[in-house]
Structure 1
Amino acid sequence: MNAYPIKFRPILKEKIWGGEKLSLLLNKETMSKNIGESWEISGVEENISIVANGLYKGISLNDLIKKFKGDFLGQANICAFGENFPLLIKFLDAQTNLSVQVHPDDKMASKYHNSYGKTEMWYIMDAEKDAEIVLGLKDKSIDKSVLKDINASNVNSIFNNRPVKKGESYFIPAGEIHAIGAGILAAEIQQTSDITYRVYDWEREDINGNMRKLHTEKAIEATKVFPNDSVKEDHSTDDKHTKLVSCDFFTTNAFYVNGIEVKDYKLLDSFVIYMCVEGNANVKIGEYQELVKMGETILIPARAKRVEIASKHSKFLEVYIPSPSLNLTQKAS
């Protein structure tokens, strides 16, 4: 295949909790005032990404995988996932709180949904004053059956609320109770799955006066208790390269570009995704070059082994499936 920096058309999702930051700050084209998610790269059924630029413009993500296989995904990923794209890449804008929720692991998702589970991470791109997330249960010894009886009077005593700020990252393994709070703009990297079990939805009603469905029994089954609620690191300084998460499902690094950065992927048997979270940059593979701005995402095919990035100042999240030979598949800690 011709390897170049591939962009996809964003798939925008209206949400009861969404706002306008994805359009106002990240330049997503929409007239809606409640866009909660921009699915940047998706292999989720009925939400398949379409190429937006270059030689393969108009071709679906699935068709690229079928045609180019290991040159596109990496041979190890073809062996592991077949022709399924293993990650779902998003930007999120929470104008109000998301529901408190939990996702199943691979075993439970396969049992009930014939799907992958959902381990994910967040990178906080912006956070308003006093913005918080829910991460885990406040009392780790509490019986999970308490999830059956949550209401406005006891919710703050059950869930662990944590303040957040720009530049922090959070790892959310499948089974961890969580929610993004109001006033947060985030990048999200996750397994390819759209399975969510709602535990509590702040007793709010939709435009028709109905409350959204809860999934309490399955949430109780899915919920796990973790000794440490997340990986949280501050990346507000111009560190050149910082590992955010390395788990069985993906590796995510953050890096700045102030000048020219050359990436060597000769030892990596995987596609690479760049999410631009600050500034803008020119990304070059061979003779092909693409301008990438804050709020945009590009995919580097596995065939590309050298990438050159030029910028006066930008920051990227670098995402890939770790090769076994690189010994990067340890759990996040």
Structure 2
Amino acid sequence: MNPALYPLQFDPILKERIWGGEKLKTVLNKDITSKITGESWELSTVQGDISIIANGEHKGTSLQDLINNFPDEVLGTKVHERFGKQFPLLFKFIDAREDLSIQVHPNDELAKERHNSFGKTEMWYIMQADEGSRIIVGFKEKSNQQEYLENLKNKNLLSILEQVPAKEGDVFFLETGTVHAIGAGIVLAEIQQTSDITYRIYDFDRVDASGNTRELHVDQALDAINYNVVETQKKYQTQKNVFNEIVDCPYFTTNVLPLQGTIEIDKTFESFTVYMCVDGYFEIEYYDEKYTYEKGATVLIPAGMNMFKISGNASILEIYIS
């Protein structure tokens, strides 16, 4: 068996945020000690935040080093050909105790030109939502730069933005240019391009423990914003023991698997696969080894690991590049 080929887990990279809380511990069993932990970066090759393998023969090795040594086996032949030795996606769990800032992400072209980075197309899967929680996403009606700036100046931006109630199982797909914010009381799984470029445009005038406001990027955001009305919420099937498609875009495909019992997996060598356990528990059986996971686990299946069994009682997000 190729030494790179087994289900890989990683040490979470925990991020304190002014809007964070403690649900990553209470809901997802993450080992946090802070009362303002907002993000758990589950799988990342963002510079300065590169994931470290937490299990098996390669424990202690960085994901980037493993890719450098086994690019086809880890990434997949098609992904390696398209992206070189870059891991093109970033996976997170997010706990919003308070509203996040209202923000926007640039597209590939703008991000490349300004930051030498990918853009940031992303999706959210709501794992837990307090009563009354909502997502801020896009404009209520077609807008323009002048109207947007007037409402921003008057601290009335929310009046022209769409606010959508959120509940467990809801999915939102956000193309670049979509003005958005995760609302208070929500825990979600986020799948996105490998990028940490965010233009923050309004932060509710809040200050940190030292009395400082956070930096805004109003001017940079102007060229990045899509002022049209966008449809972001995704409807999908939940047939048991089937990978039900939620999102299929140029950057990633995401399916949901409502698992009850055992299924056999036989996939191609073209792309890696990532499983995020959003509820319940499951087990992967590969050769004579068994690997167990529970809610809050993220697992990277290297592309070369193409035949195995999954069993359990869980809701699992499956992500790959098609």
Q: Same fold (TM over 0.5)?
A: yes
Structure 1 residue 226 displacement after superposition: 4.4
> Match for residue 83 of structure 1?
85
Measure the CA separation in 1 of the matches of 2:25 and 2:250: 33
Measure the CA separation in 2 of the matches of 1:44 and 1:206: 25
> Match for residue 266 of structure 2?
264
Q: What code does the residue aligned with 1:192 have?
A: T
Measure the CA separation in 2 of the matches of 1:50 and 1:148: 46
> Match for residue 331 of structure 1?
none
Contact 1:255 1:318 in 2 (8 A): yes
Measure the CA separation in 1 of the matches of 2:130 and 2:39: 18
Structure 1 residue 125 displacement after superposition: 0.4
Q: What 5-or-longer segments of structure 2 have no aligned partner?
A: none
Contact 2:95 2:187 in 1 (8 A): yes
Does the C-alpha gap of structure 1 residues 220 and 214 become closer, same or farther in structure 2, counting only changes over 3 Å?
A: same
Q: What code does the residue aligned with 2:319 have?
A: V
> Match for residue 12 of structure 1?
14
Measured against aligned partners, the alpha-carbon deviations of 1:62-81 in whole angstroms (never above 9, x if no partner) come to: 01001011011011111111
Structure 1 residue 83 displacement after superposition: 1.1
For residues 215-234 of structure 1, what are the structure 2 equivalents within 5 Å?
215-233=217-235
Identity, % of aligned positions: 45
- TM norm structure 2: 0.95
Measure the CA separation in 1 of the matches of 2:241 and 2:223: 40
Flag as ranges the 4+ runs of structure 1 deviating above 4 A: 234-239
Measured against aligned partners, the alpha-carbon deviations of 1:94-135 in whole angstroms (never above 9, x if no partner) come to: 000000000000000011001111000000001110101111
Q: What code does the residue aligned with 2:285 have?
A: K
For residues 129-208 of structure 1, what are the structure 2 equivalents within 5 Å?
129-143=131-145, 146-147=148-149, 149-150=151-152, 154-208=156-210
Q: What code does the residue aligned with 1:201 have?
A: D
Measure the CA separation in 1 of the matches of 2:146 and 2:7: 46
Structure 1 residue 156 displacement after superposition: 2.6
Does the C-alpha gap of structure 1 residues 318 and 57 become closer, same or farther in structure 2, counting only changes over 3 Å?
A: same
Q: What code does the residue aligned with 1:150 have?
A: L
> Match for residue 305 of structure 1?
306
Measure the CA separation in 1 of the matches of 2:58 and 2:228: 43
Contact 1:5 1:289 in 2 (8 A): no
> Match for residue 280 of structure 1?
281
> Match for residue 315 of structure 1?
315
Does the C-alpha gap of structure 1 residues 290 and 151 become closer, same or farther in structure 2, counting only changes over 3 Å?
A: farther
Structure 1 residue 32 displacement after superposition: 0.5
Measured against aligned partners, the alpha-carbon deviations of 1:174-220 in whole angstroms (never above 9, x if no partner) come to: 11111000000000000000000011111111111111111011111
Measure the CA separation in 2 of the matches of 1:92 and 1:133: 13
Measured against aligned partners, the alpha-carbon deviations of 1:149-170 in whole angstroms (never above 9, x if no partner) come to: 5267523312111111110101
Q: What code does the residue aligned with 2:321 have?
A: I
> Match for residue 36 of structure 1?
38
> Match for residue 95 of structure 1?
97
Measure the CA separation in 2 of the matches of 1:210 and 1:34: 16
Q: What code does the residue aligned with 1:91 have?
A: F
3-state SS in 2 of match to 1:199: strand
Indicate the RMSD between aligned Cα atoms, in angstroms.
1.7
Measured against aligned partners, the alpha-carbon deviations of 1:253-283 in whole angstroms (never above 9, x if no partner) come to: 00111110112203x5000000000111111
- TM norm structure 1: 0.92
Counterpart check, 1:128 vs 2:130:
yes
Measure the CA separation in 1 of the matches of 2:149 and 2:124: 24
3-state SS in 2 of match to 1:17: strand
Contact 1:144 1:220 in 2 (8 A): no
Measure the CA separation in 1 of the matches of 2:162 and 2:16: 27
Q: What code does the residue aligned with 1:290 have?
A: Y
Contact 1:166 1:236 in 2 (8 A): no
Contact 2:236 2:245 in 1 (8 A): no
3-state SS in 1 of match to 2:57: helix
3-state SS in 2 of match to 1:283: strand
Q: What 5-or-longer segments of structure 1 have no aligned partner?
A: 323-333
Structure 1 residue 305 displacement after superposition: 1.1
Contact 1:168 1:234 in 2 (8 A): no
> Match for residue 24 of structure 1?
26
> Match for residue 73 of structure 1?
75
> Match for residue 48 of structure 1?
50
Equivalent pairs, count: 320
3-state SS in 2 of match to 1:28: coil
3-state SS in 1 of match to 2:67: helix
Q: What code does the residue aligned with 1:307 have?
A: F
Measure the CA separation in 2 of the matches of 1:79 and 1:237: 34
Q: What code does the residue aligned with 1:283 have?
A: I
3-state SS in 2 of match to 1:37: strand
Measure the CA separation in 1 of the matches of 2:145 and 2:12: 41
